[in-house]
Amino acid sequence: MFYLIFQALYFILPAGIANMAPVFAKKINFLNIPVDFGKSFRGQRIFGDHKTWRGYFSAIIIGVIVSGIQAYLYFSFEFFQSLTIFPFREYNFILFGFLSALGAMIGDTVKSFFKRQANVQPGQKFIPWDQIDFILGALIFISFYFRPNWLVYVILLVLVPFLHVLINRIGFWLGIHKTKW
């Protein structure tokens, strides 16, 4: 079971790293344009000011790069062939990375929509959606292309929220995040 947990986490790695990419791309002024083009009836952005095309672009690039590294490791080292749930011999790593990252970003954007409608400010907790938004989006988008064992879905939906909180605490201590989880 421990090995399956490790495989599941390795499987979702492109989405997880892609989900963090926009935070690190903040300093880049390229495509710093909000995803939504209007204001809601409350006079605020539908998804919030911090959801930008730069975030989508950086996430997708990183998701494809991480998937490419996984494909390279898969073809170069026998260990990674047994670790990998995604069959890189049969499927395209670029499409896998793209769908993982795009799903993660859309999941996060959908959560932001509901967060804004509930009048929850950016950075404020929106439990449990802050912890599972990107994973739900990524799993939904990946499932259009490849479906792992159902147990992988269960493992990820249970384990990733705890990892999300841990990673955000580390980000707070490093000065990357403004709020402590």
pLDDT digit string, tens, across residues 71-112: 999 999 999 998 899 999 999 999 999 999 999 999 999 998
- For 52, the 3-state DSSP assignment is strand
pTM for the model stands at 0.85
The pLDDT assigned to 177 comes to 62
**Ramachandran assignment for 77, one of left (phi > 0), alpha (psi -120 to 50 degrees), beta (any other):** beta
Token pair in block for residue 98: 């793209």
The pLDDT assigned to 39 comes to 64
The pLDDT assigned to 38 comes to 66
Show the low-confidence residues of the chain (pLDDT under 70). Answer: 37-45, 48-49, 176-181
The pLDDT assigned to 64 comes to 98
Task: Give the angle 26-98-152 at the CA atoms, nearest 5°.
Answer: 105
The pLDDT assigned to 80 comes to 92
